[in-house]
Structure 1
Amino acid sequence: MYEDSWYSFVPEVTKKSTSSGQGTGHRRKESLLQQPNVSSNEAPPTLSKLVEEEARRSPPEATVARRAKSYSDFYHVVRSQLAKDSQKKKQKKREEDQRKRRKDRKTLEALNLAANVDDVVFPPKPILTQYDDRLLEASQQDYLLYKDQLALTERHLDSLIDDTNSALELLTTLSKSFQAVEAQTSSFKSQCEDLLSEKRRLQKLAGDVGTDLHFYAYLDNVTRRLNAPGASRLVDDDDFVEVLSNLDSCIAFMGRNTAYRDAESYLARYEALLTKALHLLEVGFTNRLDRISAEIAPSIASSKSEATRHALAYSRFGELVLTSDSLIPNMQKVVRSVYDELGRPVSGTAGEIYGNTARHLFQSYFSVRDRDLKAMTQRDVDEFKRELKELSMETASRNLVKQTFEKAFNETNLFARVFGIELQWSSDPESVYALLKSYQRSLANPTNLVPLANTLQATMQASSLPAICNVVAWLMNEYLALDYEDEESPFAKQCRELSARLLTEHLWVFTDNAFEAEVSKTISKAMVKDEELKIGPVVDGVSSSNAYPAVKKALELLVMYDQTMPKERSQTNSQVIFKIVRETINVLQRAESRLKSLKSSTDPDIFMVKNLLIIKNELLSLEIGDIRGEDGGYAGMQHFNRIWETLSPQNWASFFGNIIGGVGSSFWSSSSSPSTSSAAAGGGNKVTAKTLTVEDMNHQLDELLRQSIVGFTQRWGRLMNDAKARKAGVKPIGKVERQLEELLQKAFSNQPEVIAKLNEAIQMSAEAQAKAAGEKKGVRQY
């Protein structure tokens, strides 16, 4: 920014060359205090030597480091000013140098004149004071030099400060000028910004208008394209997807901007064009299926080999269908716009139009498949009928189920390859599963198990109940029982799903009906025969060996049902279990009434206690802890569950202790329902088959056992008291005790704890009756 001349403030001192006789090496300066060896008349040294000595003792010349030149917007102005200042400095320096040279020249002339005067006699001076001035000047030489340099620097800095102030004043003036210019141009800048904003708005508006016009202008293009003579070939081209995408965009645009001009008209025309394009796809797909069917259907019908028919029906058919230019990919794009990869519905533009097309495609596909495989299906049915005659119903049913599951798996894979959708069960009524389920045809697929179920049910209808249970149990154990050691294959997974649907939707309901029919036939309508109204001896220690025939049949049905159904179904909300127990109680009550009318030797109360305990014990062993109907609540099972926990062959004695342990027993407590408690006290109506209800089945089953136990203990306690009192017509106490012992041993010979508890209960009842009779007699005497 500044020139180099600004920093040349210290004048250069020209060093004079030394004499030729003086050495160039370092020499020691003589002491100023040393006396000279010459006489007093000897002339002082010349000025040139003194100047040389002073030059050697002077410090290095002061210099200012050069600064890098810089430029600014005011370069020319500052440069001209600095050039003027530099010229002034140079002129001033030259004048000072001239004055100094004139002064030095005069001094040298004076010294030379003094040296030439030899005859001048000076007065003698003392030697010690002769050089005081020169010593003082020599000692202060360094400080004087620094003083001069500082003074020179001060002058230089003052000049810099003055120049800087001048530059700042100039810059301030320029800044004010620029501010004034900016203030004057702010309004112009605002107007320019407004013009730019308007330009951008117009550009955006023009772009939007151009985009919107595209949705209107596309109508003529797509109309000519779909109405062209070769429009049917468009479905085999990749451009078909682009046409559908553009139509979707136009339909979505018109749907969003209903206020635009003729938007409704264009929307209707675009939807009509979309329908036409999708119709072309349907026609192309149906024609292709028909051509493939005409090629392989005769071969399938005429083939005698099962392997050949399988290869034609699945491998060859899939190969021919998928070998196309772009028809199948275009069709998959259409289907996937309505359903995802698992067949669940998805929302999108023109969903109803695409949904109708997808349904038509599915229907055309399954119609062709059902027609082509009808011969194979009929052969399977004929083979099943042949096995029914030659083998057995169970074997034939198993083979039919395996064949059907295998074909359903193949159909699933083929459907996934053609449409790009995996058929899976779904409760959504809009899913592919629900849609295909409505196509009830003879073709076996994951959504159509009705033909298999109808064939099995028609065969089981004429079979026995054990055979039906064997087939159902095999189907459950074969496919529903999971093996966690091996990884489940896709085929095993689908077989498990198919078997679960076949059982839950068809076979379990059919089996329940078969059980109910068997209960009605063998238990409800069973005749009460007098020769069966007895309790025989226990055979081989089995408690149920001397049970009533209807109870034995009920136990057989309970075991069969438990083995056929999963625990979740046999334990909870089972109408079959409920009906078996209810009808068995109904038969037992009819037998009890018959025993009382016949006045047989068989005790009716022991008869009921024996058979009811057998039923309870069987329910416990089968872990069926929820005996109720469809409307029964879980709260009503609390008391029954408490009894259930104490009921087992190992603790029957404690169970009877809870039942007949006295008036304070928990079994007689308020946990029973009001109706059952009053019935136990004898003040209410007894529980009968007509009063049985679904909601209170558990309490009523317990109440039946209470009634029988209470009636038995009260009657035999009264008989014991009469025998001890030796009333007329009553056997002696010894015979009564032997008769009671024989009765109990015959009914419960393998359960001594039960016999002991019943004896204890009879004794307690007898004592309670005697005490009550004594209190009654005392009241009468009083």
Structure 2
Amino acid sequence: MYEDSWYSFVPDHALKRTPSTSQNTAHKRRESLLQQPNGGKQSDAAEPLRQLFEEPETSIDPPEPTLTRRAKSYSDFYRVVRAQLSRDAAAKKRRKRTKGGKGLEALMVEKPEHTIPFRGLLPARSLDAELVEASQHGYLLYRDQLEMTERHLDTLLADADGALHLLTSLADSFRYVDTQTSSFQAQCDDLLSEEKRLRKLADEVGTDLHYYAYLDGVTRRLNAPGASRLVDHENFSEILTNLDACIAFMAKHPEYRDAESYLARYQSLLTKALHLLEVGFTSHLDRVSAEISRQILATQSEAARHALAYGRAEEMVLAADGLVANVQCAIRSCYDQLGNPIPGQNFDYYSNTAINLFSSYSDVRDRDLRPITQHDLETFRKETKEVNAETACRNFIKQCYERSFNEAALFAKIFSIEPQYSMDTQSAYVALKTQQKALVNAANVAPIATNVQSVLQTSELQVICNLLGWITNEYLLLEYDEEETRYSVHCHDLTARLLMEHIWPFTDNCFENEVAKSISKAPISPESLKITPIINGVASSNAHPIAKRALELLAMYDQAMPKERSQKSSPVIFRIVHETILALQRAESRLKTNKAANPDPDPDLFMIKNLLILKNGLVSLEIGDVRAQPSGMQHFGHIWDTLSPQNWMGLFRGILGGTLSLGLWSSSADPAATANGMATTGRNQTDQDASEKLDELLRQSIYAFTQRWGTLINAARGGKRGAQSLATTEKELDEKLMTAFGGQPEVMAKLKEAIQINAQAQKEVKAEKGSR
């Protein structure tokens, strides 16, 4: 009935349930394979059984299993579940959109009553079960995950509960142990505190006993037969340090048993130790000196002597390094690096030892270098005679500075200090300064001053000023781009001390002598009292010889001294100005005495001329309180402003007929005070400032001159009997002013203005007096 060829239409791949079968058509029941073909066309292919297959998207195969990450916590698990539910819902929506309404009909296909099983087809019941299983796969997986999470959470809860019980039991145990051991801990703390106290007390007792026990050992060492050799070893400084500590301890605790006795014994041992150091160092210097001095005397070469005096001597002295180190330790116990004193319990002991060491060293160096210093002095005297005093002094000072710098370097290497200038009587500088030797060092500049002053004593004053100016510019004033070296600093310090302690006082004395000779005791000849015409427009060309000499002395002093010493506080400046004023007053008195016989020159005009010249010199040299002014008679404007001639009329009205003399009017008195007789001219001249005294005399002379000529002008204008005509009077005034101040029209104009104002003031005063 059925032929096998019917079954040949079923392809082999149809037996395989793969999702790759194309099912683009909608779900419909396929025709039965039992139906026979119509007709005899056996070759026609039958349609596949579409009703038995699904779309690729609805394959009955179960989905691939996925491994869900185990949740670490409840929040993490919740996030994983939500993500899985979102993915399941999205897949379900896609299936619904793909299958549409026909998908449900495919699932509801009726089961045929008679099915003929054949190879390659599955039963309908199996397909339904697989379909149900596939549709519920996501939910089943979610249920399994929930069950697994539940078990995991139960485990976590059980573990947490166990840990909580364990921690509770541990806390109870710790509280119990703490309760039981608190008292024991307190006892232990008390024991530890007591142990620390006892240990500290034992240390203090042991330390205090050490200061007592050290006495026997150090006494045996310092009194031993070979104690003098201790100073050659470096550990000798430990003995000094320990003795200092013992003395300080006994002095700090006088209440201890036998503290005074131990203090005295330790001080005695310190004195003995320092004495051993002095003896050892002096002996070492003598051994070095014996060889160095012999070699210096045996040679005549300057280079060889210099090498022996400094290079070889330094090498031999420092060869005893232990002894030198002990000496440095003793020196630094009382002085710092710059030679300043270090206060302490044992300062007197160490300072006396330091002074003795310095003295021994200075004696040895002065003895060893005596041939060199003698040669330098001979060269200096020879240059003084053959060349000149100024050049010889310059070369000698340079040589001494170089020698002093080398000595200071050697001294610093041996004693480890560099003494600087100090006024403290306990400093190392003062200790060295008191030891005056022929050799120049950092603290001893007296040999330079002594030899230089012996030559300058017989030299001219200008030579002294030139030498002072050279020293100041060469060593005190450094150029802007000049590098400061150790040598320049050393020379600067030496120069400062040389000038302040020796050369400046010597120069001041020389100026005092010159002032006394050329100003105070200078004779006043009748020829010098005349006012000659100005030569070549130089204002000082017709000044009095005393005024000219005063200007020369002021210029020389300003050249030789720094500005700090040439101000108004300088006694030399005051002496020059003061003696010049006195000399000019003597000349004025002589003119007034001989005025009847010789009316020319005018005494007041003579004083105005010479005092203005002197004032101009002070201003131009910036001496006193006066500052630099324009060239010419720049001082006159300052004096004129001080006089204030515009206020003279008020002054005259205040006097009203009194004696019009400027002798009652000074710079420190106003018109009212002057009218009451409060003048300052009666003060002691030596108590006044030189510039102030000069200004006061200028005001007196100017007022007297303008008052007299104002009277003559009024008499000429009023036609008074015996008076000259106005033209003759003015011509005579012009001649006098031209002779005294030729080439200085500003001075002449100011004086004429003052005369006119004075004349007008006298006229008004006379009118007011007549009206009364």
| CA distance in structure 1 between the partners assigned to 2:742 and 2:266 by the alignment | 91
| CA distance in structure 2 between the partners assigned to 1:485 and 1:547 by the alignment | 44
Q: Which moved further from structure 2: 349-358 or 520-529?
A: 349-358
Alignment CA distance shift 1:315-1:741 (3 Å): same
Per-residue deviation, 1:361? 1.4
In structure 1, give the amino acid aligned to 2:342: V
Check the 8 A contact 1:713/1:758 in 2, yes or no. Answer: yes
| CA distance in structure 1 between the partners assigned to 2:468 and 2:158 by the alignment | 116
| CA distance in structure 1 between the partners assigned to 2:673 and 2:608 by the alignment | 17
Per-residue deviation, 1:499? 1.4
Per-residue deviation, 1:693? 4.6
| CA distance in structure 2 between the partners assigned to 1:439 and 1:257 by the alignment | 39
Q: How does 1:461-500 map to 2 (within 5 A)?
A: 461-500=457-496
1:609 aligned residue: 608
| Structure 2 residue matching 1:662: 3-state secondary structure | helix
| CA distance in structure 1 between the partners assigned to 2:630 and 2:643 by the alignment | 11
1:620 aligned residue: 619
2:223 aligned residue: 227
Q: How does 1:488-527 map to 2 (within 5 A)?
A: 488-527=484-523
Identify unmatched segments of 5+ residues in structure 2.
Answer: 1-14, 19-60, 73-112, 114-123, 655-663
| Structure 1 residue matching 2:565: 3-state secondary structure | helix
Per-residue deviation, 1:726? 4.1
1:365 aligned residue: 361
Check the 8 A contact 1:680/1:703 in 2, yes or no. Answer: no
2:268 aligned residue: 272
| Structure 2 residue matching 1:720: 3-state secondary structure | helix
| Structure 2 residue matching 1:293: 3-state secondary structure | helix
Check the 8 A contact 1:465/1:514 in 2, yes or no. Answer: yes
| CA distance in structure 1 between the partners assigned to 2:564 and 2:637 by the alignment | 31
1:407 aligned residue: 403
1:451 aligns to 2:447 (yes or no): yes
Per-residue deviation, 1:414? 0.9
Identify unmatched segments of 5+ residues in structure 1.
Answer: 1-24, 29-55, 68-126, 627-639
| CA distance in structure 2 between the partners assigned to 1:58 and 1:684 by the alignment | 134
Check the 8 A contact 1:680/1:707 in 2, yes or no. Answer: no
2:569 aligned residue: 573
Residues 252-271 of structure 1: CA deviation (Å, up to 9, x unaligned): 44444444433443333333
Alignment CA distance shift 1:145-1:267 (3 Å): same
Residues 364-410 of structure 1: CA deviation (Å, up to 9, x unaligned): 11121122223433333333333333333223322222222121111
Per-residue deviation, 1:452? 2.0
Alignment CA distance shift 1:667-1:327 (3 Å): farther
| CA distance in structure 2 between the partners assigned to 1:402 and 1:145 by the alignment | 113
In structure 1, give the amino acid aligned to 2:576: I
Per-residue deviation, 1:622? 1.4
Per-residue deviation, 1:700? 3.4
| Structure 1 residue matching 2:624: 3-state secondary structure | coil
In structure 1, give the amino acid aligned to 2:633: P
In structure 2, give the amino acid aligned to 1:216: Y
| CA distance in structure 2 between the partners assigned to 1:674 and 1:64 by the alignment | 111
Per-residue deviation, 1:610? 0.8
Percent of residue pairs bearing the same amino acid type: 54
Q: 1:764 aligns with which of 757, 762, 765?
A: 757
Residues 568-620 of structure 1: CA deviation (Å, up to 9, x unaligned): 22124111111111111111112112111111221111111111111111112
| CA distance in structure 1 between the partners assigned to 2:745 and 2:289 by the alignment | 78
TM-score using structure 1 length: 0.73
Check the 8 A contact 2:568/2:574 in 1, yes or no. Answer: no
2:647 aligned residue: 663
Alignment CA distance shift 1:180-1:465 (3 Å): closer
Per-residue deviation, 1:208? 4.0
1:744 aligned residue: 737
In structure 2, give the amino acid aligned to 1:370: D
Aligned residues: 663
Alignment CA distance shift 1:380-1:667 (3 Å): farther
| Structure 2 residue matching 1:384: 3-state secondary structure | helix
TM-score using structure 2 length: 0.74
Check the 8 A contact 1:660/1:761 in 2, yes or no. Answer: no
Per-residue deviation, 1:652? 4.7
2:30 aligned residue: none
Instruction: Provide the alpha-carbon RMSD of the alignment.
Output: 4.5
In structure 1, give the amino acid aligned to 2:350: Y
Alignment CA distance shift 1:702-1:236 (3 Å): same
Q: How does 1:728-743 map to 2 (within 5 A)?
A: 728-743=721-736
| Structure 2 residue matching 1:444: 3-state secondary structure | coil
In structure 2, give the amino acid aligned to 1:616: K
2:296 aligned residue: 300
Per-residue deviation, 1:705? 1.5
In structure 2, give the amino acid aligned to 1:615: L
Q: 2:214 aligns with which of 208, 212, 218?
A: 218
Check the 8 A contact 1:423/1:433 in 2, yes or no. Answer: yes
In structure 1, give the amino acid aligned to 2:541: S
Q: 1:552 aligns with which of 541, 548, 554?
A: 548
Check the 8 A contact 2:296/2:309 in 1, yes or no. Answer: yes
Per-residue deviation, 1:711? 1.6
Per-residue deviation, 1:58? 15
1:649 aligns to 2:642 (yes or no): no
Alignment CA distance shift 1:611-1:154 (3 Å): closer
1:386 aligns to 2:379 (yes or no): no
Check the 8 A contact 2:471/2:495 in 1, yes or no. Answer: yes
Check the 8 A contact 1:340/1:346 in 2, yes or no. Answer: yes
In structure 2, give the amino acid aligned to 1:426: S
Alignment CA distance shift 1:745-1:217 (3 Å): same
1:590 aligned residue: 586
1:247 aligns to 2:243 (yes or no): yes
Residues 451-486 of structure 1: CA deviation (Å, up to 9, x unaligned): 221222233233332222222222222222322223
Check the 8 A contact 1:659/1:665 in 2, yes or no. Answer: no
| CA distance in structure 1 between the partners assigned to 2:142 and 2:615 by the alignment | 130
Alignment CA distance shift 1:660-1:279 (3 Å): closer
In structure 2, give the amino acid aligned to 1:581: V
Alignment CA distance shift 1:187-1:562 (3 Å): closer
Check the 8 A contact 1:656/1:754 in 2, yes or no. Answer: no
| CA distance in structure 2 between the partners assigned to 1:170 and 1:208 by the alignment | 53
Per-residue deviation, 1:729? 3.4
In structure 2, give the amino acid aligned to 1:763: Q
Check the 8 A contact 2:408/2:441 in 1, yes or no. Answer: yes
Check the 8 A contact 2:519/2:546 in 1, yes or no. Answer: yes
In structure 2, give the amino acid aligned to 1:613: L
